[in-house]
Amino acid sequence: MVTDPVTSTPEAIDVAQSARVSVDGEKFVVAGEEIWFNGVNTPWDNWNDFGGDFDEAFWDEHFAALRELGCNSSRIWINCNGVSIVKVGEDGFVKSVNDRHWADLDKLFEIAKRYQIYLMPTFLSFDHFKDSNAGFDSWRKLVSDAAATESYIEKYVIPFVTRYGDNEYLFAIDLCNEPDWVYENEECGEIPMETLAEFFAKCSAAVHENSEILTTVGLGMARYNSDYYYGNCYSDETMTAYAGKSAPLDFWSNHWYYWEKPWFGYPYNTSPDKFHLPAGKPSLIGECTALGDADMTLAEQYKSAYDHGWSGVYAWTSNGVDSNGGLSECTPALEAMKEYIPEKIRN
């Protein structure tokens, strides 16, 4: 039987439809239909993989396994703390980017596209700023000095989104992992929150002005994303004031661990707005232990988060980098959501 190659075959329909994730109110959508992120953190295989000890076979095999389980997204730290990746001088200015970093990421993004795993690469972490990190002073200067920040944007942020912006499985950039501790902890420099917000605003604006990629900041707790507590340090008004109309973040991505319950409540049995996050944008739980907790199993957490209006959950981790569990612990939750909302997993 002969079919119309443009309109009749499933393959043609798949090609015709964009896989690009965008935001519609408080939901993520692809081709006009809601997508829910049945996610995991695969933060690294080998610390500072990308430009270091990158194992292409690991990522190919792991993404294949994740897709089979129903996972549709992974958050990855593409620079764990390395000045060997983004080479920063003592003055905080970016000198160059390791060519191997780009070569390794080229392979990572092709693997993600092959298995249709949406990636949320994380650019920085509080680890960069810790006294124990060899390059801590350079990173502190990079975010604190306007000219140094501009060198980071010109030599890393814009080249990154220009290089990978056409890959629709690069859905968002997490500009920094848990900057809460950069502000709060002496060992991370106690950099003012206003300084961090200005840095993130400028980076977010650069991403939006050069690509369709979404932006967020993965906060360790709700405190700095909520007017109910300290205040939303990354509100649209704040970000716009620092870097213009392109600067606001596209969604909220709070992390939650059981120690936070007495201070900020339990996110899985309430909606994001009742968890005191700002309304009007999607909200993710960007990290949670894969082990579950005393109140719910991980599978129950994923299901209840969906039922209460969260747009995705990302267990830490899918590959067992620490004591918070690995793929076997993530499996029941991923499979449960694949069965519960298959049309929104799009797997």
Buried b (16+ CB within 10 A) or exposed e, 143-163: bbbeebbebbbebbbbebbee
Whether residue 298 is predicted with pLDDT greater than 50 in this model: the reply is yes
Cα dihedral 150, 282, 222, 157, rounded to 10, equals -20
Helix or strand (DSSP H, E) at 284: strand 283-289
Average pLDDT, the chain: 95
What are the structural domains, with CATH classification, of the chain?
Answer: 32-345 (3.20.20.80)
User: Could you tell me if 276 and 311 are in contact, meaning their C-beta atoms sit under 8 angstroms apart?
Assistant: no
Cα separation, 215 vs 207, whole angstroms: 8
**Judging by DSSP bridges, how do beta strands 283-289 and 252-255 pair with one another?**
parallel
| Mean pLDDT computed over 224-236 | 97
| Mean pLDDT computed over 83-100 | 96
Whether residue 65 is predicted with pLDDT greater than 80 in this model: the reply is yes
Residues in the chain: 347
From residue 157, give the alpha-carbon distance in Å to each of 81, 131, 338: 16, 25, 34
Predicted pLDDT of residue 10 = 36
pLDDT in tens, 125-174: 999 999 999 999 999 999 999 999 999 999 999 999 999 999 999 999 99
Whether residue 6 is predicted with pLDDT greater than 80 in this model: the reply is no
Residue 285 CB burial class (10 angstroms; 0-12, 13-18, ≥19): buried
Predicted pLDDT of residue 240 = 98
pLDDT in tens, 188-228: 999 999 999 999 999 999 999 999 999 999 999 999 999 99
Please enumerate in sequence order all residues whose Cβ is within 8 A of that of 13, keeping only pairs 6 or more positions apart, or say none: 7
Cα separation, 120 vs 136, whole angstroms: 24
Predicted pLDDT of residue 346 = 84
